[in-house]
Amino acid sequence: MLFSLVVLGVRAAQRRHLEDRILSTWPETAALDPELVRFAGSLAAPALASHCAGCHGGDLHGDPTHGAPDLIDGEWLYGEGRVADIEQTISHGIRSGDHRSRDLADMPGFVLQNPYRRYRIASLKPSEIRDLAAFILQMNGRLPADSAAAARGQALYGSALCYDCHTASAQGDPAIGAPSLRRHAWLYGAGAEQISDVIAYGRSGICPSWSGRLPPATIRAIAIYLHVRSGAS
Ligand code: HEC
Ligand code: HEC
């Protein structure tokens, strides 16, 4: 009895010590320390299962019905996959209402009369949206049924200002969370219909902010765990 109480006490002290270390170590350095990475995994796994899997999927490979991205494929909407980038997103969320959340751009809805709430942007016709979707499919190595449509879509990519957020090469802009349009895991699905629907009606996906809802050591641990699993180290 006394022996098991002593064991429990030692374990609690070890855990507190590791929590202190995970927070006081520079995030990118912590991700290189095998003991802290192991500890991060033990804190992160249950938190991910109870707070994140509902949107990001039990395997963390994303869920197009929520527009929630794959968190371990090494493709990032925001930042470059450093522990600090991921921690910032988890702490303050995306379009979450937290005043430090990531919220610099949205996907306009191009069939709407006023496509964009932040600045004036011209509407597109439904046929133009189909052409853009054909171009995006072609860019991803999927042969469009109608190659003339893809060529028209390519011209529209410039004239409709898609490049303004997604960049001229369509690789996306991680400073504003504009995804690459050469993705292997699409936020909202890879089909022509799904891509057309995003261009037509726009999207503003929301990730909640977790600062104040999860302990700081758990948030840091999840960031380290996702960084390591996504192979960005
Ligand atoms: C209510 C649904 C929901 C929940 C719950 C949720 N997320 Fe998200 N998360 C999203 C959506 C949607 C996005 C994409 C937002 C966008 O389109 O920019 C996202 C984006 C992210 C990103 C950005 C990934 C990148 O590529 O830059 C990270 C990191 C993230 N979530 C982590 C988490 C973690 C960790 C949890 C649990 C503690 C969590 N999320 C819980 C919906 C959710
Ligand atoms: C003002 C910035 C902005 C402009 C202009 C813009 N986009 Fe986007 N786009 C975004 C953002 C931000 C997202 C991510 C939406 C989200 O996080 O919910 C996105 C998402 C998308 C997606 C979904 C990607 C996925 O993984 O499912 C497609 C497709 C897309 N944009 C195509 C286009 C096309 C085509 C144009 C031009 C007609 C365009 N976008 C113009 C900001 C922009």
Ligand 1 pocket member 66 (CB < 6 A): yes
**Rounded Cα distance, 20 and 16, in Å:** 6
pLDDT, mean of residues 87-112:
98
Instruction: Please state, in angstroms and rounded to a whole number, the distance separating the CA atoms of residues 121 and 127.
Output: 18
Stated length of the chain: 233
**Ligand nearest the Cα atom of residue 102:** 1
> Average pLDDT, stretch 222-232?
93
pLDDT tens-place string over residues 191-216: 999 999 999 999 999 999 999 999 99
Question: Is 43 near ligand 1, meaning CB less than 6 Å away?
Answer: no
Average of per-residue pLDDT across 64-83: 96
Q: How far is CA 121 from the centre of its chain?
A: 25
Q: What is the mean pLDDT of the chain?
A: 95
pLDDT of res. 5:
86
Q: Cβ < 6 Å from ligand 2: which residues? A: 67, 105-108, 110, 132, 136, 160-162, 164-166, 177-179, 181, 183, 186-188, 195, 198-199, 203-205
Say if ligand 1 is within 6 A of residue 227 CB: no
> Region 16-29: what's the mean pLDDT?
96
Ligand nearest to the CA of 174: 1
Supply the pLDDT for residue 218.
98
pLDDT of 77 higher than 90:
yes
> Residue 126 C-alpha to ligand 1 middle, in angstroms?
30
pLDDT at 232: 52
Q: Is the pLDDT of residue 94 over 90?
A: yes
Is residue 53's pLDDT more than 60? yes
* Burial (Cβ within 10 Å: 0-12, 13-18, ≥19) of residue 212: exposed
Which ligand does the CA of 81 lie closest to?
1
Atom of ligand 1 nearest to the CA of 78: 27
* CA angle in degrees (0–180, nearest 5) for 174-110-144: 80
Please work out whether the CB of residue 178 comes within 6 Å of at least one atom of ligand 1: no
Dihedral sign, Cα of residue 215, residue 219, residue 220, residue 222: positive
Structure tokens at 58: 């039990």
Mean pLDDT for the stretch of residues 53-67: 96
Q: In this predicted model, what pLDDT tens digit does every residue of 102-156 receive, in sequence order?
A: 999 999 999 999 999 999 999 999 999 999 999 999 999 987 778 899 999 999 9
List pLDDT tens digits, range 177-195. Answer: 999 999 888 999 999 999 9
The pLDDT, as a whole number, for residue 70 is 97
Higher pLDDT, 4 or 100: 100
Q: Which of 107, 123, 193, 196 to probe ligand 2 with, by most ligand atoms within 8 A of CB?
A: 107
From 43, 51, 56, mutation site for ligand 1 pocket: most ligand atoms within 8 A of C-beta = 56
Chain-centroid distance of CA 31 in Å reads 20
Tell me the C-alpha distance between 207 and 33, whole Å.
29
**From ligand 1's centre to the CA of 162, what distance in Å?**
24
**Separation CA 157–CA 136 (nearest Å):** 9
Task: Report whether residue 67 contacts ligand 1, using a CB cutoff of 6 Å.
Answer: yes
